[in-house]
C-alpha cells in the first residue's frame, strides 16, 4: 500500500483533514516550508496545486494564487526541483492537483516518473477525461505507483461513479456542489441527500469532500458523511496574510479541535 491507502486503512484515523495550497504562493520558494508546517500542525495529507493560466474550476482566491505563482516563476519543472527533498522532511501523503494542459506539455510519462522520484503519492487532474486515462495513461500511472484521483459531482450517474470506483486506487474526490472553489458549504436537504446517496453505494474507495470547506463546522458536517474533507480557499487566503507561518498551527487546530476528540 502507498501512503494514501495506509492513511485511510488506519481505523484510528477519523475525520481526515487535507489542506490544498498553490505551489509558488505566496513566494516561489515557500512550497516545502508550508508543507512542513502543515504536517507539524496536524494536517493528515496535502494537495499541492500546480498553477495554470486558465483555472476554470477555481474561485477568485485560488485563481489569484495561481496568477501570483506564475508571475513568481512556478512551473512543473521548478516544482519537481523543489520537491526533490520532500521525503526528507514530509511523511504524510502528498498529492499534486492541477489541469491537464501543463501535464501534457511536460509529458505524461515524464510527469508520473517525476512524481515517483520525489515521493508524490497521487494526482488530481479534473479535466483529464476518464476514458483517456483508462485507454492511454493508466498503465504509466500504475507503473509509477501514482494514484489518479477522480471527481464526483451531484450530477454524476451511479454507473459512472461505480466505474470511477473501479479505476481508483486512493480515494474519490466528492465535490460538495457544482460551483467553483471558495463557496461556503451549506448542507441543505439536497446536499445531505446527495452525500447519503454516495455513502449508501458502499464504494470500495474512501470518499473525501472538497469545495466549500472553510470552517470547523463545515469540516465536521462533511465528515459526518465522508472519510475526510479538503480545505483549500480558506487556507490559501491565510497565506496572503503577514506572518502566515505563525498562524498555520492555530488554523489547523481550530479545524481539528473537535475531530481529534471524536
> 148 pairs with which residues across the strands?
123
Lowest mean pLDDT among 64-73, 106-115, 169-178, 232-241: 169-178
- The pLDDT value recorded for residue 32 is 97
In whole angstroms, what is the distance from residue 208 CA to residue 175 CA? 9
Asked if the structure places residue 190 within a domain, the reply is no
Asked if the structure places residue 128 within a domain, the reply is yes
Establish whether the linkage from the previous residue to 31 is cis, with ω within 30° of 0.
Answer: no
List pLDDT tens digits, range 50-67. 999 876 667 899 999 999
Cα–Cα separations (whole angstroms), residue 173 to 27, 74, 247 = 28, 25, 27
Q: Respond yes or no: is residue 58 known to be catalytic.
A: yes
Residue 36: give the domain boundaries: 15-150+213-255
CB 33 within 8 A of CB 85: no
- The domain that holds 230 is classified in CATH as 3.20.20.70
**Domain tally, the chain:** 1
Asked if the structure places residue 166 within a domain, the reply is no
Establish whether the linkage from the previous residue to 18 is cis, with ω within 30° of 0.
Answer: no
Asked if the structure places residue 238 within a domain, the reply is yes
Asked if the structure places residue 193 within a domain, the reply is no
The grid coordinates of residue 58 equal 477555481
Asked if the structure places residue 93 within a domain, the reply is yes
User: Exactly one of 39, 44, 58, 121 is catalytic; which is it?
Assistant: 58
Asked if the structure places residue 261 within a domain, the reply is no
Q: Is the pLDDT of residue 36 over 90?
A: yes
Asked if the structure places residue 198 within a domain, the reply is no
User: Exactly one of 6, 11, 39, 47 is catalytic; which is it?
Assistant: 47
The grid coordinates of residue 49 equal 496545486
Amino acid at each position: 500500500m502507498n501512503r494514501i491507502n495506509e492513511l485511510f486503512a488506519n481505523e484510528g484515523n477519523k475525520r481526515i483533514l487535507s489542506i490544498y495550497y498553490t505551489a509558488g504562493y505566496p513566494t516561489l520558494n515557500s512550497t516545502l516550508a508550508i508543507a512542513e508546517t502543515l504536517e507539524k500542525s496536524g494536517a493528515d495529507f496535502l494537495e499541492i496545486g500546480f498553477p495554470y493560466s486558465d483555472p476554470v474550476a477555481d474561485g477568485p482566491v485560488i485563481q489569484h494564487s495561481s496568477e501570483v505563482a506564475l508571475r513568481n516563476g512556478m512551473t512543473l519543472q521548478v516544482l519537481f526541483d523543489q520537491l526533490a527533498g520532500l521525503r526528507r522532511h514530509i511523511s504524510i501523503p502528498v498529492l499534486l492537483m492541477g489541469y491537464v494542459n501543463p501535464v501534457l506539455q511536460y509529458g505524461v510519462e515524464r510527469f508520473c516518473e517525476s512524481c515517483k522520484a520525489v515521493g508524490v503519492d497521487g494526482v488530481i487532474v479534473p479535466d483529464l477525461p476518464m476514458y483517456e486515462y483508462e485507454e492511454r495513461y493508466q498503465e504509466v500511472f500504475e507503473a509509477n505507483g501514482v494514484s489518479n484521483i477522480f471527481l464526483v459531482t451531484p450530477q454524476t450517474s451511479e454507473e459512472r461513479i461505480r466505474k470511477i470506483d473501479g479505476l481508483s486506487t486512493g480515494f474519490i474526490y466528492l465535490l460538495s456542489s457544482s460551483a467553483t472553489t471558495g463557496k461556503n458549504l451549506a448542507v441543505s436537504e439536497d446536499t445531505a441527500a446527495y452525500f447519503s446517496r454516495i455513502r449508501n453505494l458502499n464504494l470500495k474507495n474512501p470518499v473525501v469532500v472538497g469545495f466549500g470547506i472553510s470552517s470547523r463546522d463545515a469540516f465536521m458536517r462533511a465528515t459526518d458523511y465522508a472519510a475526510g474533507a479538503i480545505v483549500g480557499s480558506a487556507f490559501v487566503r491565510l497565506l496572503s496574510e503577514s506572518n502566515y507561518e505563525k498562524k498555520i498551527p492555530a488554523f489547523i487546530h481550530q479545524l481539528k479541535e473537535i475531530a481529534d476528540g471524536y
